[in-house]
């Protein structure tokens, strides 16, 4: 999304955060945030149809010419409970105070809506030029450890590096993690980071020990290049292929679908022949098959994906009824028998399958 033009003469309106960073980097922004030095709910409703407002945070979402724009009042915050959502201490503070509560210098830039002037209290422009990520103060990761994952995300998205002191602070935090943190926020950042489908991100995540925020036990990088795998067979949830590999996922709250993906792959043991492979993977999400491939047995998984999954038996329950067999659990045994034979000889016809069914009953 490009910067949206707001025609307003107030010198209290500023584009803020990611959108300014993205404009200076000449990349597209995901969203546009605008801050108003004062009460945004009161001032910004005039820009279009109000979609929602949140008085606790002083924010308002408005449809501006068909695009949803978030307007926020400048606000100061404190992290009363480290690792959790901060508490707003003041709505309508100065622009400088608002900027100083943020994660990295490159995300702490503002641009006047009226004049286009860049306001940089923290050296964000220089860090953008030098391609470095720098926190604004030494307690930044203690306040909000999700920033370590955000840092990884931005490094990968923009090809940046951690500035040395920020790297040291990350290392220090990872050596003394406080596990009482909001894993809902952690999950959101993990999804955004690993949906980038970057092997490089995963290698940094493991090498630098960032994974310990989720799963403390030692973890090694699997040999398989996951990025290439996902490029070959696109999946709906790329992130889960990376994160699902971690041994301890008890801190993350998964949806029903995600939980099933993980449980399915974990429950499959050694697979000895084509029939076992077929039965184990048939009907499973591609994500589960990949997790199995990466962590247990690549060969079986690819035997299924490249060959076996295209083989289907053609006879149905109706065919068996026509043979005079009354519906019963026996049907499944017959189908399995026919499938076993078809996996050995995929070219057999429906008539051959019926003959096999007859042979089985006799």
Task: Report the residue number, 72 or 286, with the smaller CB distance to ligand CTP.
Answer: 72
Q: Which of 1, 2, 11, 31 binds ligand CTP (CB under 6 A)?
A: 31
Q: Would you call 172 helix, strand, or coil by DSSP?
A: helix
d(CA 81, CA 79): 5
**How far apart are CB 106 and ligand CTP at their closest, in Å?**
8
Query: Taking CB under 6 A as the criterion, which residues in 32-51 touch ligand CTP?
Result: 33
Q: Closest by alpha carbon to 186, among 212, 155, 151, 149? A: 149
**How far apart are CB 204 and ligand CTP at their closest, in Å?**
17
DSSP secondary structure string for all residues of 90-155: EES--HHHHHHTSSBGGGS-EEETTT--EE-SS-HHHHHHHTEE-BSSTTHHHH-THHHHHHHHHH
Beta strand pairing call for 13-16 and 110-112: antiparallel
User: Helices (H) and strands (E) in the chain — how many of each?
Assistant: 18, 11
**How far apart are CB 293 and ligand CTP at their closest, in Å?**
30
**How far apart are CB 192 and ligand CTP at their closest, in Å?**
6
Task: Report the residue number, 103 or 341, with the smaller CB distance to ligand CTP.
Answer: 103
**How far apart are CB 133 and ligand CTP at their closest, in Å?**
12
Select the residue whose beta carbon is closest to ligand CTP and give its number.
18
Q: Which of 61, 75, 147, 187 binds ligand CTP (CB under 6 A)?
A: 147
Q: Would you call 142 helix, strand, or coil by DSSP?
A: helix
**How far apart are CB 14 and ligand CTP at their closest, in Å?**
12
d(CA 58, CA 234): 40
Helix spans in the chain (H):
18-25, 40-44, 95-100, 124-130, 140-143, 146-158, 164-175, 183-194, 199-207, 226-232, 238-243, 256-267, 274-281, 286-295, 298-306, 317-322, 330-344, 350-361
d(CA 261, CA 61): 35
Q: Which of 4, 13, 14, 17 binds ligand CTP (CB under 6 A)?
A: 17
Asked if 50 contacts 9 with a C-beta cutoff of 8 angstroms, the reply is no
Determine, following the binding rule CB under 6 A, whether residue 198 of this chain makes contact with ligand CTP.
Answer: no
Asked if 158 contacts 131 with a C-beta cutoff of 8 angstroms, the reply is yes
Determine, following the binding rule CB under 6 A, whether residue 83 of this chain makes contact with ligand CTP.
Answer: no
Write phi, then psi, for 167 (nearest 5 degrees).
Answer: -60, -45
Task: Report the residue number, 28 or 232, with the smaller CB distance to ligand CTP.
Answer: 28
Task: Report the residue number, 189 or 353, with the smaller CB distance to ligand CTP.
Answer: 189
Determine, following the binding rule CB under 6 A, whether residue 18 of this chain makes contact with ligand CTP.
Answer: yes
Task: Report the residue number, 77 or 341, with the smaller CB distance to ligand CTP.
Answer: 77
Binding mask 97-116 for ligand CTP (x = CB under 6 A): -----xx---xx--------
Determine, following the binding rule CB under 6 A, whether residue 258 of this chain makes contact with ligand CTP.
Answer: no
Determine, following the binding rule CB under 6 A, whether residue 74 of this chain makes contact with ligand CTP.
Answer: no
**How far apart are CB 7 and ligand CTP at their closest, in Å?**
23
Determine, following the binding rule CB under 6 A, whether residue 257 of this chain makes contact with ligand CTP.
Answer: no
**How far apart are CB 331 and ligand CTP at their closest, in Å?**
52
Residue carrying structure tokens 């999946």? 235
- Site residues, ligand CTP (CB under 6 A): 17-18, 29-31, 33, 102-103, 107-108, 144, 146-147, 150
């Amino acid at each position: 999304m490009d910067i949206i033009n707001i025609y307003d003469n107030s010198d209290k309106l500023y584009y803020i955060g990611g959108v300014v960073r993205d404009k200076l980097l000449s990349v597209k922004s995901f969203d546009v945030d605008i801050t108003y030095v004062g009460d945004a709910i009161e001032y910004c409703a005039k820009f279009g149809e109000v979609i929602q407002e949140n008085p606790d945070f002083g924010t308002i979402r408005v449809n501006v010419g068909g695009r949803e724009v978030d307007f926020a009042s400048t606000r100061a915050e404190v992290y009363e409970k480290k690792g959790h959502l901060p508490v707003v201490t003041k709505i309508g503070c100065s622009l400088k105070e608002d900027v100083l509560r943020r994660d990295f210098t490159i995300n702490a830039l503002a641009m006047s809506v009226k004049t286009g002037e860049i306001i940089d209290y923290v050296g964000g422009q220089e860090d953008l030029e030098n391609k470095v990520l720098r926190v604004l103060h030494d307690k930044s990761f203690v306040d909000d450890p999700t920033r370590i994952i955000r840092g990884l995300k931005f490094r990968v998205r923009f090809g940046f590096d951690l500035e040395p002191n920020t790297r040291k602070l990350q290392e220090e935090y990872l050596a003394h993690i406080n596990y009482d943190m909001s894993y809902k926020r952690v999950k959101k950042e993990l999804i955004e980071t690993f949906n980038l489908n970057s092997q490089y991100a995963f290698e940094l995540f493991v090498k630098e020990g960032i994974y310990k925020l989720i799963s403390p036990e030692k973890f090694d990088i699997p040999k398989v290049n996951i990025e290439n795998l996902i490029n070959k067979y696109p999946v709906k949830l790329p992130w889960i292929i990376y994160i699902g590999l971690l041994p301890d996922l008890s801190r993350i709250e998964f949806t029903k679908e995600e939980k099933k993906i993980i449980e399915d792959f974990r429950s499959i043991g050694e697979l000895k022949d084509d029939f076992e492979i077929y039965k184990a993977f048939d009907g499973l999400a591609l994500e589960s098959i990949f997790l199995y491939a990466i962590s247990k047995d690549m060969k079986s998984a690819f035997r299924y994906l490249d060959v076996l999954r295209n083989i289907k038996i053609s006879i149905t329950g109706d065919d068996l009824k026509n043979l005079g067999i009354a519906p019963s659990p026996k049907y499944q045994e017959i189908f399995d028998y026919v499938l076993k034979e078809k996996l050995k000889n995929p070219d057999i016809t429906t008539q051959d399958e019926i003959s096999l069914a007859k042979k089985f009953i006799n």
